[in-house]
């Protein structure tokens, strides 16, 4: 197939699919179901990440960071320093402690555990380019590595600000 025909087919494919709507990302309100695992280690790892999200990141209780993060915590987000102390210093510049809620408030799509990794997938609502205030949904992923009951490493798709 010539390069021209390939380009023409690709353009037609994209035009047809641009007309169809994206399937919206939907959160799962059943957090108990998300936290369940038949493997008690995986269930404990999921609960660790869930409670870290709920108590430290959402409620801003940075004093609890030592309960969840190892001293030598590795951070792959390019905007947050590595190490537990770096994490606390960074977030303390704009986070204030508030009430700890019984459930994570952000819309969770999935909470997956495999081996020493836990992936927290959440719903993100983004502005539609040129959409005059309209939004669309997409997914955000945070992946944590757990060792000895603490978070030792974190990844997410954040880019440098």
Domain of 86: which CATH number?
A: 3.10.450.50
What is the pLDDT averaged over residues 38-51? 98
Name 153's Cβ contacts closer than 8 Å, sequence gap at least 6: 73, 74, 75, 76, 144, 145
What's the total number of domains in the chain?
1
- Model confidence at 12, in pLDDT bands (50, 70, 90)? very low
The SS3 assignment for 83 reads: coil
Rounded to whole angstroms, the Cα distance separating 154 from 161 reads: 18
Asked if residue 24 is part of any domain, the answer here is no
pLDDT reported for residue 5: 52
Asked if residue 107 is part of any domain, the answer here is yes
- Model confidence at 8, in pLDDT bands (50, 70, 90)? very low
Containing H/E element for 114?
Answer: strand 108-114
Asked if residue 19 is part of any domain, the answer here is no
Asked if residue 148 is part of any domain, the answer here is yes
Asked if residue 73 is part of any domain, the answer here is yes
| Confidence check: pLDDT of 1 > 80 | no
Asked if residue 18 is part of any domain, the answer here is no
Residues spanned by the domain of 89: 29-155
Asked if residue 22 is part of any domain, the answer here is no
Q: Which long-range contacts (CB under 8 A, 24 or more apart) does 79-86 make?
A: 79/158, 79/160, 79/161
């Amino acid at each position: 197939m010539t390069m021209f025909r390939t380009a023409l087919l690709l353009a037609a494919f994209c035009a047809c699919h641009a007309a169809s709507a994206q399937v919206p990302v939907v959160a799962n309100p059943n957090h108990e179901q998300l936290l369940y695992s038949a493997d008690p280690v995986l269930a404990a790892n999921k609960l660790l990440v869930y409670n870290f999200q709920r108590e430290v990141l959402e409620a801003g209780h940075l004093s609890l960071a030592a309960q969840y993060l190892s001293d030598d915590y590795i951070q792959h987000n390019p905007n947050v320093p590595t190490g537990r102390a770096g994490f606390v210093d960074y977030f303390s510049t704009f986070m204030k402690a508030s009430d700890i809620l019984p459930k994570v408030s952000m819309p969770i799509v999935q909470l997956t555990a495999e081996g020493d990794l836990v992936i927290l997938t959440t719903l993100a609502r983004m502005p539609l380019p040129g959409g005059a205030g309209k939004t669309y949904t997409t997914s955000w992923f945070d992946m944590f590595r757990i060792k000895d009951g603490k978070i030792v490493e974190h990844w997410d798709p954040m880019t440098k600000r």
